[in-house]
Structure 1
Amino acid sequence: MDADLDVACHLNVLAPGVSSARLPAALDTIAAAGYRRVVLPPLNPDAIDAAALRELFRVRGLTPITIAGQAPDADVSSPSGDVRAAGAALLRRALDLTVALGADQMNGVPYGVFGHPAGLTDGAAFERSAAEVGRVADESHDRGVLMTFEVLNRYETSVVNTAAQAMEYVSASGSEHLWIHLDTFHMAVEETDASVAIRTALPRLGYLELGQSGRGALSAGAVDIGGIVRQALDDGYGGRWGVEAFSRSTLDAAAADMLAIWRRPFDDGVALAVDAARTIDTGWAASNVGRRVGTTDQ
């Protein structure tokens, strides 16, 4: 990757999880392609050796990004105080694992249950969720971890679907340390204009993830990834970036079903990771930042 950007690649592009025999080769590919970070799928802290994983990342110069979530009996948006407390505890457990892995960023869907589209459209649930997540975000900041929440499309949540709603959620959280995670895949469903959405979230945008409409190669699909990269840079975005793609060729069946990945948009994760880096380079080179660097190098 030629672009001087802090970019992460999702592990599922190349391997189904951290217990896969393909993990070392996948990490080698991600590092060789110029990525600085690797996004991990949701992890069970009791089922992994955090110290061993941390060393795998360290020797390759990669920093992991973890994912936090909720469950029906552990949900920060619940009207039940006990269920909310369990939801907050689940987020703090994910934070502990994040620190143990040597990570400094925790993404995910901390505001409610993934795949539970109904029931969180009332203002009280929104406020309850934001208040709990805001407290964990402050604790994350104190421990050196940037906490983000991902804005999902309407088929995956009813809580936060747009950049404007994300800004409202940040405000409701009361935290100065909660950051927004936008994903071009979800923006293609919910936003009229992805670049306008990015500008809307820019004051609190901590992670901009690049995903194609069909979940495959970034260079082919309905989303102009290179154009989005260029415009975001020109609009002043200076945060971290991510690459995400999913295929039944690399996911295990349970994860593929949960994410509604019924096809094989790609079979070669190595080629996808390299193609994504090249697509990002194209957008970066066309941006004002990239052009200035190119002029300096001549």
Structure 2
Amino acid sequence: MNLDLELQLDIACHVSAIVADPTPDALAAVLPRLREAGYRRAVLPPLDPGTTDAAALRRAFDEAGIAPIAMTGQAPGADVSSADEAERRAGAAALRAAVEFAADLGADQLNGVPYGLFGQPGAPTSRAALERAAREVGAVADEASDRGITMTFEVLNRYETSAINTAAQALEFVELSGSRSLGIHLDTYHMAVEEADMSAAIRDALPRLAYLELGQSGRGLLSTGVVDIPKVVQQTLDEGYTGRWGVEAFSRPLVGDGAGDMLAIWRAPYDDGVELAADAVRVVRKGWAESAAGRRAQRLARSGG
């Protein structure tokens, strides 16, 4: 049975859970297995638009029958939150290049951290920096929307940014952006650190929630850890969420030393990324089955309706 059709959910898996270097050849081996497990999409890590063969990656996705989601970010000297005008312009140019790259891939979604630098912040982010970032990100998000691409921004925990840590702050950022289309990306891994009430935070973000990523406390299998993923899925569906879902996990031998250092992945919470992806579908399916929509579908299936 095709689980993604049974679930009636649009689920994406981050390929960094499985391979360190998402070359077309590596993806050709992985993407069909994700599709068989029930995924409709796969998320690429941030890639350099200037040195990456988007056409070759697109062919790998097309041949596997699975859709890509692209990612973007900022870098020193190219930061939309900077007080320096040249740095802000460079940051905005990087975001626009990422939109172009997403279009070349055939992606209709661009995730990431477009509002500033990723990493140990060391100091609070000023209101002025947030306002600068919001204006730039909002403008690019509307341009992306005009091209059929939804741009989202991820809410991270305090150890990775001081800019936006909670759903409430994310909603404020959307308002500051003035964008008609900028979407919020929440992640249960980060929410477990920052939110006093995860369900309430998701509920509050629903009007602009475009992507809900499911990640465990230890970055491993969704069936392990302290986050009750089935409950999150069930409650979020019952609140009326109809957007996309993501699965994210990291294991140092699979993600590689460079990304492992950046993300503070020091251990190997799992060994087989494809099995992790399959386990995640089973966990999500459990939450779906406990939701009102899931129970209704099961009743109809039993009655032959």
CA shift at 1:252, angstroms?
1.5
Comparing 282-291 with 22-31, greater Cα deviation is found at: 22-31
Distance 1:25 1:275, change over 3 A: same
d(CA) in 2 for partners of 1:93, 1:194: 34
Q: Do residues 92 (structure 1) and 92 (structure 2) align?
A: no
CA shift at 1:184, angstroms?
0.1
TM-score between the two structures when normalised by the length of structure 2: 0.96
Paired position in structure 1 for 2:160: 156
Aligned to 1:236, which of 240, 248, 271? 240
* Residues 74-119 of structure 1: CA deviation (Å, up to 9, x unaligned): 0000001110000000000111000000000000000000004145
d(CA) in 2 for partners of 1:44, 1:81: 23
Count of residues paired in the alignment? 298
Paired position in structure 2 for 1:12: 16
- Percent identity reads 60
> Aligned ranges for residues 44-123 of structure 1 at < 5 Å?
44-119=48-123, 121-123=125-127
Aligned to 1:33, which of 31, 37, 49? 37
Amino acid at match of 2:43: V
Comparing 245-254 with 145-154, greater Cα deviation is found at: 245-254
- What secondary structure, in the 3-state scheme, does the structure 1 residue paired with 2:261 have? helix
- What secondary structure, in the 3-state scheme, does the structure 2 residue paired with 1:153 have? coil
d(CA) in 2 for partners of 1:47, 1:258: 21
Q: Do residues 129 (structure 1) and 129 (structure 2) align?
A: no
CA shift at 1:21, angstroms?
4.7
Alpha carbons 2:32, 2:65 under 8 Å: kept: no
Alpha carbons 2:43, 2:69 under 8 Å: kept: yes
Structure 2 stretches of 5 or more lacking a match? none
CA shift at 1:72, angstroms?
1.1
Alpha carbons 1:17, 1:40 under 8 Å: kept: no
* Residues 198-243 of structure 1: CA deviation (Å, up to 9, x unaligned): 0111110000000000000001110000000000000011100000
TM-score between the two structures when normalised by the length of structure 1: 0.98
d(CA) in 2 for partners of 1:123, 1:79: 12
CA shift at 1:134, angstroms?
0.2
Q: CA RMSD in A?
A: 1.1
Aligned to 2:189, which of 157, 178, 185? 185
Paired position in structure 1 for 2:298: 294
Distance 1:44 1:16, change over 3 A: same
d(CA) in 1 for partners of 2:138, 2:69: 19
Amino acid at match of 1:68: T
Paired position in structure 2 for 1:210: 214
d(CA) in 1 for partners of 2:176, 2:123: 18
Distance 1:92 1:86, change over 3 A: same
d(CA) in 2 for partners of 1:120, 1:74: 19
d(CA) in 1 for partners of 2:239, 2:127: 32
d(CA) in 1 for partners of 2:249, 2:38: 17
CA shift at 1:52, angstroms?
1.4
- What secondary structure, in the 3-state scheme, does the structure 2 residue paired with 1:8 have? strand
